[in-house]
Structure 1
Amino acid sequence: MKNSMKPLKVLPALILLLVLTSCSSVRVATDYDREANFDNYKTFAFFKPGIDKAEINDLDKRRILRAIEAELMANGYTKSENPDMLVSIFTKSNQRVDIYNNAWGNGAWGWGGYGGWGWRSGWNNNQVTTTTEGVLYIDLIDAQKKELIWQGSGTGNLETRNVEKKEVRVKEFVSQMLMQFPPEKK
């Protein structure tokens, strides 16, 4: 009987580990114009009016723009004064509250004080965590038509205290999104 209880003791730790590691990932979604011929897009420039509207500080804007530029150039696109596509960004942030109600552990029959005899749980633990979850949108716009041709969004937890971690996180957001650009041909 003792050996059958070991998996139950390890299960809460495994669930907590899964929750913690899933919080660190970036969730990505993309949408695009199915009529656009993405082979025609070779050059890009940043769309300043759109970027100026992004409600983040200038340091973070520069981090994001440098990451986008590096990722696009690594994928063969060229920055140009006369571009095929324009790049714009915008951001959102939300407070995310997670409540974990853990009622795991060994229970037993016994005297419960005012409650009398009955089943008593060995561990009942509630945890509340609050994190800032950010969404970064990258819009790619046909420079001639001024029409949106592709949009990527990345959602995940933001690191705001450590500059090095923030740099890494921005690059992770951008690379995860632009990994899906251009869309695969059907």
Structure 2
Amino acid sequence: MIAFSSRFNVLRPSRLFLGLAAGLVLAGCASEPETRPCPQAVVLSDASRQVKFSGQGRDLTDVLFEASIETGRLICEYDENVLDVDLQVQVIAARGPANSDRLANVSYFVAVARSDQSVLARQSFDIAIPFPGNRTRVSGLEEIGQVITLQGDEDGGDYRIYVGLDLTREELEYNRANY
């Protein structure tokens, strides 16, 4: 059984630095380092970028936003046969000329798979990233929690966590043709 949870924050660069610094301080307070491995987190290259257009046009002036996704810190805690994984996912959005709403509505997925790539669970997450003031580029940081029930002598090394943007068929073809 695998369960997901999430928290999202839009961060300014200074807050991002403070959040990462606080995480490092808290990590230093851990009583004992875990010696068993975490799952590997992988961003799928075909689903790492998204260009969202307004209507049917595909000109630069028709771009609502461009988004990309990256993984960050990955923390694992074992409790007997249960693996609790916290993964940071960063979504970066750039506002396009056709975006009068000053908002990027982005959907991405997180999937947990065995090392043989058989997917055990997949969940999509929707986030709205605002562009405050005159800002044209904003990043959001979300923490995704997964609880994985391990079987037999499995450990985190037997699993992969795949992350990507939810794309339409046309957006996927655009990525393959342009990146």
Tell me if both proteins adopt one fold, taking TM over 0.5 as the criterion. no
More strand per residue? 2
TM-score where L is the length of structure 2: 0.34
Larger-gyration structure (1/2): 1
Which structure would you say has the larger RCO, counting Cα contacts within 8 Å and 6 or more residues apart? Answer: 2
* More helix as a share of residues: 1
